[in-house]
């Protein structure tokens, strides 16, 4: 059976499309994760981003995927979720 | 007259009678316009005289509400003037006014079932072509979205996977009741959102119910919304409790509920999903969720689902009868329940010592020193019930004896007694108090044939007018 349409079981008081979470206006005091996907020279780019974020008052925590060819391991995603308020991930070079 | 008419013929190649009547179709098509809807693909019937349409998607057959193929329908203008099913030569002749029609064919051949009537097809066609009366908001999934994961992400699950509520499944579910999908039953706490039969059907699909369980689920929701059940407070309380559903009467057996071995446990689809459907209605329609308005300190596993059937025990009145209904009526009784506490007595062969064991177990409901607070259900197993039956004790006699044995001297109950700070005000020291309020102790029969174990199901600390009372509703189709 095709499962492309579902009927809402609830009160329908929420929007049917889920909205992305609002971005914070102020970074001071927040922990921002920078995820290096292991592309060459990604670290150089992210070093620059880190210093800009730190100038905004953010604490920067760095993470690195073992390889850009595969999705981030579950443990890495859990580390980021546990430690960070926000995450920036470079998707390509 | 025939020249003013036009005809629609619905066929399928896989039907011998449809193949048989091809000569009659040719004859008819010479006298009037004929359009053929063929259900199983193009190329049949192989006639140039009629307008043959491939109705593999069954849109035409569905719109015409065909049960049998072949079906011949005559129209006068846009109005249906008559129809006949299968091949009945005299009926075809009467419908078409062609007195020589099908002279080479046998007198009569029955038709075959229309593909629109195949098992499971009707809800799909209703969902696709309308007619189901569904009004719930439709959520379109992205091509790679997994429906079960979406249900989690949208907060629709109690933590276990739910069956994705597609329109087809919901329409199939609604076939389990005669009630209008748009009928509103009341407002579900805590958000006080009106709940329709359709919304209950959606949540019943998600819970895993079969359509024949739906009337029980509907009655359970109706009972939960009755004021004495106090569903809002029961949801919001920091206490353990959640709604328990006991089904009493013939429908419980007809839909395959378990009243026997492991009746309070896992493994029976009806028991498991009816109780879960009620919880999902409260979660999804009412917005009652743990961490939100549900403030339970610990909760209990029965808040996933807690539903069982009462065993039919001719020696005792049924729960339906005890609650003012007839024995042959099926009822649901809702109780604001905590978990199950077992009570073992493998020695008693007479009612009195068994009552004393039961009373000792019941004494500790909520706290051994609390009285007139929580209600309780006592689920009596067959081997324990036999002790009472052999001695001729009715359920009412057992209940009354338990009330007597649970009449406790205030000195045992007051604060500080037994070295426990908890207790009643010291001024009640000289009183003698019943553990349970009037009507607060309910006996039901269930369980497997072996094991001298019964079950105490304690209730919410707030019973009666200040909290929840058991509520019973008849189940109607």
pLDDT tens-digit profile, chain B (477 residues): 444 789 999 999 999 999 999 999 999 999 999 999 999 988 899 988 899 999 999 999 999 999 999 999 999 988 999 999 999 999 999 999 999 999 999 999 999 999 999 988 888 888 888 767 899 999 999 988 999 999 999 999 999 999 999 999 999 999 999 999 999 999 999 999 999 999 999 999 999 999 999 999 999 999 999 999 999 999 999 999 999 999 999 999 999 999 999 999 999 999 999 999 999 999 999 999 999 999 999 999 999 999 999 999 999 999 999 999 999 999 999 999 999 999 999 999 999 999 999 999 999 999 999 999 999 999 999 999 999 999 999 999 999 999 999 999 999 999 999 999 999 999 999 999 999 999 999 999 999 999 999 999 999 999 999 999 999 999 997
For residue B110, the distance in angstroms to the closest alpha carbon of chain A comes to 32
For testing the chain A interface, which of B154, B174, B186, B282 should be mutated: the one with the most A CBs within 10 Å? Answer: B154
Helix (H, G, I), strand (E, B) or coil at B125: helix
Q: A5 touching B, CB under 8 A?
A: yes
For residue B119, the distance in angstroms to the closest alpha carbon of chain A comes to 14
The parent domain of residue A84 ranges over: 31-89
Contact B136 A2 (CB under 8 A): no
Q: Which regions of chain B carry the CATH code 3.40.30.10?
A: 2-117
Q: A8 touching B, CB under 8 A?
A: yes
- Which among B139, B193, B285 has CB closest to A6? B139
Peptide bond into A34 cis (omega under 30): no
Could you tell me the two tokens for B198? 């359709």
Query: Would A69 be classed as within a structural domain?
Result: yes
Q: A19 touching B, CB under 8 A?
A: no
Count how many pairs of residues, chain A against chain B, have C-beta atoms within 8 Å.
Answer: 71
The answer regarding whether domain B2-117 maps to CATH 2.60.120.260 reads no
Tally of structural domains, chain A: 1
List CB contacts (< 8 A) between B287 and chain A. Answer: 10-11
Contact B136 A9 (CB under 8 A): yes
Which residue, among B140, B278, B147, has the nearest Cα to B209 in the 3D structure? Answer: B278
Report the 3 state secondary structure along B406-421: CEEEHHHCECCHHHCC
Contact B206 A8 (CB under 8 A): no
Could you tell me the two tokens for B426? 């010291």
Query: Would A37 be classed as within a structural domain?
Result: yes
List CB contacts (< 8 A) between A5 and chain B. Answer: 138-141, 166-167
Query: Would A72 be classed as within a structural domain?
Result: yes
Query: Would A74 be classed as within a structural domain?
Result: yes
Query: Would A52 be classed as within a structural domain?
Result: yes
Contact B176, B193 (CB under 8 A): no
pTM of the model: 0.82
Q: A6 touching B, CB under 8 A?
A: yes
List CB contacts of A76: < 8 A, sequence separation 6 or more: A63, A65
Q: A21 touching B, CB under 8 A?
A: no
- Asked if the interface predicted TM-score (ipTM) of this complex is over 0.85, the answer is no
């Amino acid at each position: 059976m095709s499962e492309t349409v579902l009927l809402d079981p609830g009160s329908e008081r929420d929007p049917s499309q889920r909205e992305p979470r609002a971005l914070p206006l102020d970074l001071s005091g927040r922990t921002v994760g920078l995820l290096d996907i292991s592309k060459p020279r990604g670290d150089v780019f992210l070093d620059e981003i880190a210093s800009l974020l730190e100038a905004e008052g953010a604490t920067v925590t760095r993470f690195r995927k073992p390889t850009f060819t595969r999705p981030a391991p579950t443990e890495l995603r859990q580390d980021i979720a546990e430690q960070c308020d926000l995450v920036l991930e470079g998707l390509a070079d | 007259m025939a020249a003013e008419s036009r005809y629609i013929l619905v066929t399928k190649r896989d039907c011998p009678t449809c193949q048989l009547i091809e000569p009659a179709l040719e004859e008819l098509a010479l006298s009037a316009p004929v359009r053929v809807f063929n259900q199983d693909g193009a190329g049949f019937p192989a006639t140039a005289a009629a307008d043959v349409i491939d109705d593999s998607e069954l849109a035409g057959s569905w719109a015409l509400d065909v049960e049998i193929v072949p079906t011949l329908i005559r129209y006068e203008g846009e109005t249906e003037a008559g129809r006949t099913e299968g091949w009945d030569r005299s009926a075809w002749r009467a419908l078409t006014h062609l007195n020589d029609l099908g002279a080479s064919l046998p007198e009569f051949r029955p038709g075959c079932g229309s593909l629109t009537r195949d098992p499971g097809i009707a809800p799909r066609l209703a969902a696709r072509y309308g007619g189901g009366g569904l009004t719930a908001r439709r959520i379109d999934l992205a091509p790679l979205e997994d429906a079960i994961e979406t249900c989690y992400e949208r907060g629709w699950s109690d933590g276990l996977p739910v069956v994705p509520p597609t329109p087809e499944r919901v329409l199939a579910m609604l076939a389990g009741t005669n009630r209008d999908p748009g009928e509103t039953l009341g407002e579900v706490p805590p958000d006080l959102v009106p709940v329709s039969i359709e919304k209950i059907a959606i949540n019943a699909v998600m819970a895993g119910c079969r359509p024949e369980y739906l009337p029980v689920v509907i009655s359970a929701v109706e009972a939960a919304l009755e004021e004495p059940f106090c569903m809002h407070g029961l949801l919001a309380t920091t206490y353990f409790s959640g709604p328990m559903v006991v089904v009493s009467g013939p429908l419980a057996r007809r839909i395959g509920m378990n009243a026997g071995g492991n009746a309070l446990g896992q493994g029976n689809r009806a028991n498991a999903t009816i109780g879960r459907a009620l919880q999902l209605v409260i979660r999804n329609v009412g917005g009652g969720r743990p961490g939100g308005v549900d403030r339970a300190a610990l909760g209990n596993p029965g808040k996933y689902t807690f539903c069982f059937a009462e065993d039919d025990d001719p020696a005792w009145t049924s729960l339906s009868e005890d609650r003012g209904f007839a024995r042959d009526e099926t009822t649901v009784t809702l109780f604001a329940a905590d978990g199950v506490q077992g009570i073992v007595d493998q020695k008693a062969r007479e009612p009195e010592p068994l009552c004393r064991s039961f009373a000792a177990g019941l004494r500790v409901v909520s706290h051994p020193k609390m009285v007139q607070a929580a209600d309780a259900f006592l689920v009596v197993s067959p081997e324990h019930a036999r002790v009472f039956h052999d001695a001729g004790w009715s359920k009412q006699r057992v209940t009354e004896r338990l009330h007597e044995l649970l009449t406790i001297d205030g000195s045992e109950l007051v604060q500080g007694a037994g070295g426990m700070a908890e207790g009643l005000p010291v001024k009640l020291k000289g009183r003698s108090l019943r553990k349970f309020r009037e009507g607060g102790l309910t006996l039901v029969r269930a369980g497997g044939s072996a094991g001298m174990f019964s079950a105490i199901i304690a209730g919410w600390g707030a019973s009666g007018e200040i909290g929840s009372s058991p509520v019973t509703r008849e189940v109607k189709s």
